[in-house]
Every structure is written in C-alpha cells, then in structure tokens.
Structure 1
Amino acid sequence: MGGGIAGAGAALALHRAGLDVAVFEAHPDSAEDAGAFLTLASNGMRALAGMDASAAVGALGFALTSMRVLDDTGAELAHTPLGGPEFAYRCLRRGDLNRALQGEAARRGIPIRHGARLEGIEEGPRGVTAHFTDGTTATGDLLVGADGLNSTVRRLISPGVPPRYAGQRVFYGYAREVAVSAPPGTVTMVRGSAAAFGYALSPEGEAYWFARVAGPALDAADLAGGTPAGRRASLLPLLSKDATPAAEVVAATGDDLLVTNATEIPTATPWRSGRGLLVGDAAHAASPATGQGASMALEDAVVLAKSLRDAPDTATALDLYEALRRPRVEHNITVSGALSRGTRTPSGPGPRGAAGAPSPEDVLARQLRWDTDLLRPEA
C-alpha cells in the first residue's frame, strides 16, 4: 500500500527476490510532494544497487561529493568529502524519484494501480484482503504498509499512534537566478543564529535550499493557505541577521517555496499485526534534520525482500526484518529529533557492537548486498 519511495522501492526489491507483488497508490498519479527535494545518501544509493535500480535513478538530479559548514558570520568551519566514487550522494526532486521508481516497477511488469484508497483490512487463515473505497478488493499473503507519514495502514493495524511535531518548521525552495557560489558538487550547511540553512547548486546554477526554524507547529490552515510571498517574508528577517548567503538565496526564490512541519513517529511504535507490516515513514518517520528519510526507506525495501527470501517462513522473516531494522531507524529518529529540538544528540551512527565486531557501516553494507544471506551474518 503506497507507491512512493518506500512502496515502489519495496516492490522492486520484493520482485527481485522472486515474489509476486502489486502496488496500490491512493494518489491519482505518481508524484506526491513533487515540489520538494531530497538527498539520497550513500546508504540509499547502496540500497538502490541492491534492488538493481541504480540506473533508473542515476541520471536524475546531481551528485554531491562534499559538505562545507559555515557559521553565522559566513566563516567556513569545515569542508569534508561525502560518500565515495561508488555510492556518491545525490540531490534530486522527490517527484522525479517517485516517477523513476514507479517507471522501473512498470518496466519489470509489476502492476501499479493509482487512485486505490484503502478503507479497511480483513485477515483470514490464508491471507489478508485490502478493501478500497471504490468497493474493490485485493488479497495476498502479506500487506506492506508503505503509505507514508499519515499511513492508513498504521491507523488500521496500530491505532492510536499519530505523528508528533518534532519542534521545527521546514522550508524548501529553488532559486534560479542567485549570485552565490559554492564549489561544484558541494552542499553548504549554515549554522545561523536563528535558523539552520542549507543549499546546493545544480550544474545549471539553480540553488536547492532548505531552512529549519524552531517554533510552534503551523496549523492546517497555515500549511494549506500560505503563499510563497508570505513564507518568504516570514523567513527573511531570521536569515538577514547573519552574514551568510542564506537571505540572498531566499530573496531570489520565486513561487517554488514550500513549508511543512518537521514530524516524527514515536519510537517503539508497533510495526506489525498479523499479516500487516509497516515500512518507511509509515513505521519510522523522522524529522528531516539528518536527511535520511528516503535512504532509510530504501534500506527497508532491500532488507525486507532479503528477509522473506532467506528465512524459512514469513513469521521468521518478519522477526528477522524487525530485529535488523528497528535499532537503526529508531536511532535515526532520536538523533534527528534531537537536532530539530536543539537538544544533545547521541553519538555515532547507531548502536555499537562488541569490541572487534564489524562496524555498523560494514554490517549495513553486507545487509544491502544482494548476494549475502541475512541468516548467515558471519559469511
């Protein structure tokens, strides 16, 4: 359920594992949140390779090979490499990524039905049936809820767990004519006095930018009824306090300016009920401060498919999947939420193993390689 990054990615990985899969998307077309952009980190690019979908995405957006950090005076605090030659970071529009993954699914013969809005779930001894609002149904062995932050599947199998505000408003935009510079392939992070800001320049010179601002959550009317001019006017006074490029970038932005609330799913939220399983943001949405939402969803896709491929039965596979995924994604929720709230963050990329054990990065790389068996961690 859901044809976005998590859903289309899961379909590709499950199909590669030899499973019969179909995608049901509530939206009438492929591109929800078409205006926002995201960054796929090395782990997300590695997951795409695991599902054999690198080529479908590799031509989109542009590569990011380094990150520099500026303080509120514009002074450079750090400039470090990102990723590597095999799995470079990539900046791209969310809608383009959705379309590419769905297009690759269609190319592989995976059916995708748009406009299929889930209404209810009925479980039986031999399967689970999805009931849609138009009166149609679909039955399978497993229902994968990949329907995002406001997941209908989560409401049905894990009621009473709404998303919660993570403490920041997040602005996104594009500036096509702005006289700022940055080294090629570099994302610039600005530690502003009143807002966190970041931007990257495309090869064509267009600035992709975001700003994170602490404060009360915007209500539904503000989110739906605000204008680009109003959002720009609310943001510029905060950025103009500093001697950085941030205010200039935002001032050069036209109507391509969005705002949303940073939102997260509480840790320890149940992911499973009977034959239903949550993945991606439906299970473990985090605030965007770490920039890992899409990459974590693609990791989910590969590990789920390999768990079902390698385990002797579905129950064992889902136990394995949750054991492998929950510590990592909930660590990300905690770190990202702490960044958004301005509290102290846990150190390190995730829970550490015993001395002499493989690093978390090596463990993840092995999980995402298609030819490794998840039941043989020592191999």
Structure 2
Amino acid sequence: MPSLYWDADVVIVGGGVAGAGTAHALATVGVSSIVLERSADFPELNRGDVIQPLSLGLLDKWGVLPHIHGYQVVASGIHHRVHGFLGEWGFADLEIDHPHQTVLRHTNIHRALHAAFAGHGDLVSVRRGARVSAPLFDDRDGALRGVTGTIGGEPFRALGRIVVAADGPASPLRRAAGIRFEQRYRYDHVHLMTTCPRPDAPQLDHRTARYVGADGITMIIPLDGGTQVRVAVQLPVAEEMAWRALEPGRLWRRMVARAPMLAGAPSALAGEPHTYRAHLAHAERYVQGNLCLVGDAAHVVPPTLGQGMNMAMLDADVLAAVVRRTLDGAATLDLYDRLRRPANEIVLASSHEQTLVQTATGPEVDEHVLRNYAWLADPVRRREVAERVAGLHNKTAEQLGILDLAGDCRR
C-alpha cells in the first residue's frame, strides 16, 4: 500500500492553466478536487501570455482575477515593412465586462491560479512535485478510480469518482484510455520566441503589433506592464537551427529587419530564444467512462488567434457544471463531450484558416497585402474578428443553461 493516500470528488492530473482552471470551476459549484502537478515550481514558458476577454470573465467568477496583474491590450495593429501601418482591430466596441485582453508572463498566470486556491477553503488540494505513474482501474468493473505515482520519493494513491486529464498534448492518461488524438495539420514553420525591452513606439501603447509579408508573420506582444515585449518570429522549419545559432547581435538585426518597430528598443534581447513548431490536433472524444479531457490533452491549436488558454478555461467552466450535475444524478459526463467538442471544432477551424492566411509566405504576399488586409477598413469585419478572438461565439455553462445565475447547477 502507498504511504500517501488522498481522495476527493475529482482527481485532476496536471496543474497548468487547464488543470488549475478546472479545479477553480469545480470549487465554484461545490465539488472537491485534488490537483496533481508534476513541476515543483512555476516554470517560465515563452508562450501563452494573452488572456482573452471571455477568459477574464471566467477568472473573475472563480475569484482569480484579483491575482492577475497584467497589462491591458485593447487593440491589435497590423503592419508591413514597405506599406507601413495597414490598420487595427480591437475590443472597445464590444458590449462585454472586460473589453480588452490582459497580457502577462505565462508563469505569472500559473502563479495567480494557484494563489487563488486559498479562496476555496478545503475544496481544492494541490500536490506539486507529484509524478503520476499509472492510472488505477477497478478490477470489478474496469472503471478508472484514480492514479498512482510518487511525490518526494514516496508512493501515493489519489482516488476520485471522476478523473480529469489536463496533462498536455502527449497525455499519458488519454493514451491509457485508448482515445485517439488526431494530428490534423503540422505547419511548415516554427516560431522563434524571445523578449526585449519595449521599443519607443506609440503603436505599442496597450496594443499588440503584427508584421505580415513575404517572410511570414512577426508578432510583438507587450509584457510586464508594457516595459518589455514578447517577440515571435515565424521561420521556415529548415532555417530553425541556423537562426538559433546566431550570436545575439546578428539575431537582433535580423529581427529588426523583419519588424522595423523593434529598432526603437533601448537595448537588444533579454534572455535566450525558444522555438516551437505549431500544429493542430484534436481528440476523437473528450470522455471515456469517468475520464474527461481538458486543454491541450483534448486539443492543440496554432497560436495565431491566441485561443489555447481561452479554450482550456471554457472546457473547465462547462466540465464543472456537467460534473456537478453528474454527481447529483441529473446528467452523464457525455454531456460535456456533446457541448464542448463541436464548439472547439469551430475554433480549431477558424484558427487554422487564419493561420494559413497570416503565415503565408512568398513574393505574392507582398504583392497582394493591401488587398488582403482591406477588411481593416470595414467596421463590420473588424467587429467580427474582435468577437471571434474575444471568444463571444462560444457559450459558457450559464449561457448553455446548465448553470443558473447564482453559479449553482440546476437539479
């Protein structure tokens, strides 16, 4: 028998945005959970910095928003090296509680989610440094009862009536359940991510900037209260290692050539660059018995529209309402699959379409850039883009009718 034994209504494997968000959403409806997070600290990741308006509303409902100390972004400008400023779209005209994005380092989002657990009393138990080794099945009926693993060298067993896989795109729990994860598209580029001091550029005042053109997209995202910026440079896969091998001065000059706005930065790079390849993947289903998938364990989306965290938090919101109803005997977990998977399918398709447009390369991109971005002059089109990025086309648990306005599930 393991020396450590824990139990709760729900066992959550993974304590990142998806797992921690699920624990918050469950606590909001009175469901207890154990969060098992492999990392003992809060690692720095060069992505996942932008929280969309709909997600800000969910964080507010969960009591996390007071712990979020980020930089508000109200619009996104699109630029071209030759033609200059093409236009911008933003959230100011949307009738929502949070008409902006909030940007902060991913590690600080992670820290805020965990700091806010104190507001849920005994409903959330977090075990950091917990390395899950195997699912635990009931010999009688084959149902998943929990997981086993080690923490600090000691074996543990964590049991729950429901298990949530928030353990990333490689999800061992998803594989153990036999759920197929379809890799639908692997893009022919990587993103080189780094940070630098904010350039002296009014265009970055509560705004992000995107340079489009023959080389692909280069994104500039304010960080740390606007004092720094995250820069994502699109590169062909074949050029990844050559760019990574550049000494800092040459790398900086190449980045400025791609995004001239960076020339106004008071100094060059801050920290080592990081690269990752974008891809699109979707699980064939989100529920198998009493195992549910959330976040990257269920879907992987390219970063073009910044929807990864948005999707994960909506997963958490809807799953919590379904779990509450399931524990009350008023629904089954399959309801979560029926509600969320089709909605996420639409987001994946939209993100894929925009990724192909914004990351297109070649001389014809420069030739047709004014025509391709003429929609920036159309207020209706700009509003459509803002609504889609904000997440307003996706329904929360309340809008789906499985939560009442007080946040309690209907019996």
TM-score, structure 1 as length reference: 0.80
- Is 1:257 aligned with 2:306? no
User: Residues 42 and 123 from structure 1, CA distance in 2 versus in 1: closer, same or farther, beyond 3 angstroms?
Assistant: same
8 Å contact 1:117–1:132 — kept in the other structure? yes
**Structure 1 partner of 2:85:** 76
Corresponding position: 1:14 with 2:14: no
SS in 1 for 2:277: strand
Distance 2:335 2:182 in 1: 26
Residue in 2 that maps onto 1:371: 404
Among candidates 297, 302, 309, match of residue 324 of structure 2: 309
Match of 2:232 in 1: 210
Q: 1:51 aligns with which of 47, 58, 62?
A: 62
Match of 1:41 among 32, 46, 52: 52
Whichever structure has more strand as a proportion of its residues is: 2
Deviations 1:263-299 (A, max 9, x none): 332x352322222111011101111111111111111
Change (3 A) 1:375 1:18: closer
| Deviation sequence 1:282-334 (CA, Å, 0-9, x none) | 10111111111111111111111112224575793422211221122122222
Select the residue among 179, 191, 207 that pairs with 1:170.
Answer: 191
Deviation of the 1:229 alpha carbon: 4.8
Structure 1 residues 18 and 33: CA distance shift in structure 2, 3 A: same
Larger Rg, first or second structure (1 or 2): 2
Name the SS for the 2:56 alignment partner: helix
> Could you tell me which of 246, 253, 260 is aligned with 1:244?
260
The separation in 1 between residues aligned to 2:198 and 2:245, in whole angstroms, is 17
The TM-score, its normalising length taken from structure 2, stands at: 0.74
| Inter-partner Cα distance in structure 1 for 2:316 and 2:55 | 11
1:1-379, aligned counterparts within 5 Å? 1-29=13-41, 31-57=42-68, 60-82=69-91, 86-87=97-98, 88-109=100-121, 110-124=124-138, 125=141, 128-133=145-150, 135-158=155-178, 161=181, 165-176=186-197, 178-202=199-223, 203-215=225-237, 229=246, 233=250, 237=254, 240=257, 244-246=260-262, 252-265=268-281, 267-310=282-325, 316-342=331-357, 361=393, 363-364=395-396, 366-367=399-400, 371-372=404-405
Separation in structure 2 between the aligned mates of residue 337 and residue 137 of structure 1, nearest angstrom: 40
In 1: Cα distance, 2:259 partner to 2:15 partner: 42
Taking every aligned residue pair, what percent have the same amino acid on both sides?
Answer: 22
Deviation readout 1:127-153 (Å, 9 max, x if unpaired): 612021553211110110011222222
Is contact 2:58–2:317 with CA below 8 Å preserved after alignment?
Answer: yes
* SS across alignment from 2:169: coil
Aligned residues: 356
Deviations 1:169-224 (A, max 9, x none): 11222211634332521111221320211213454532232223343596xxx69x
RMSD of aligned alpha carbons: 3.6
Is the contact made by 1:236 and 1:250 (CA closer than 8 Å) also made in structure 2? no
